[in-house]
Amino acid sequence: MKRIGVLTSGGDNPGLNPCIRAVVRAGIHHGLEVMGIRRGYTGLLSGEVEEMTARSVGGIIGRGGTILGTARCPEFYKPRGRRDALRTLNRFGIEGLVVIGGNGSLTGALELWRAGFPVVGIPSTIDNDVNGTDISIGVDTALNTILDAVDKIKDTASSHNRAFLVETMGRNSGYLALVSGIAGGAEMVLIPEVETKFEEICHTIEDAYVRGKSHCLIIVAEGWRPGTQALARQLVERQEELGFSVRVTQLGHVQRGGAASAFDRLLATRLGAAAVKALISGGGGNIVGWVRSTITLTPLEEAVAFDKQPSPELVELAEIMEK
């Protein structure tokens, strides 16, 4: 193998640039040429490819976003899209590909692998719902951003004696809400994976008031139904009897920006270098993950077979701490 490609795809996060840097520098270290593909699978279809050098990734380890750009690309998932992608890879003499992304992007990588092309995936999504890794790139930084916001919201919530609903990202995944709820000292966490009745939520708020707490903080995952705003409307109607008045903060895309944490820089660098090694040594068709503090290869097929569920141990821990 002489020339490999790298792309970032799907929702961005602060671990992407450190990861691109690692792939490029590890590739060069192993005597490869490394081509950067712009805008994820969109650029792969349209042939937006350029050579990367050790210098072109200089100074990016602490920069949020992705220097390659990213996109969600529905066309890629049609047979014609995959054909055009393979055509671009052939045209530029690329013999192996590193795909950095979440479940959707890694499903795309699996399609290329099934078409006979050597691909290695790197799990990168703040949702932390990819199998085959304990933690994906970007999760730690997003959690730190959430905690910074939660600590600040608690200040104002306590001053005004209010209940706050704080919504974290996670389209189908409650991981960020669950873990930031534990680490942020929330009174309750609402996640799509666990059913919670409206009356239980009312009880938690009223109970916090009766027990003399200065505020009540509820972290809600984006994917929880019927949704944060609908819940807020229902609670506002009941706020007289609940004790606390209710406010809502949706953290939104701020969770995907900023400089990567130390943990994410290290994880991204380890996995980027490991992906290159895997490609060279015939480990195509896998993702490189971080399992029990060890780099591990897991077949792409298994990695994307289903969305990883939050561990029952964490769900229980959150409940124990919500007193």
Active site amino acids: 127
Indicate the residue among 49 and 267 with the shorter CB distance to ligand F6P: 267
Look at the block and give the residue holding tokens 């809600």.
220
Residue 138 beta carbon to ligand F6P: minimum distance, rounded to whole angstroms: 9
Residue 256 beta carbon to ligand F6P: minimum distance, rounded to whole angstroms: 6
Indicate the residue among 3 and 72 with the shorter CB distance to ligand F6P: 72
Residue 11 beta carbon to ligand F6P: minimum distance, rounded to whole angstroms: 3
Residue 3 beta carbon to ligand F6P: minimum distance, rounded to whole angstroms: 30
Site of interaction with ligand F6P (CB under 6 A): 11, 72, 102, 125-127, 169-171, 222, 256
Indicate the residue among 27 and 192 with the shorter CB distance to ligand F6P: 192
Indicate the residue among 171 and 270 with the shorter CB distance to ligand F6P: 171
Look at the block and give the residue holding tokens 């590890």.
26
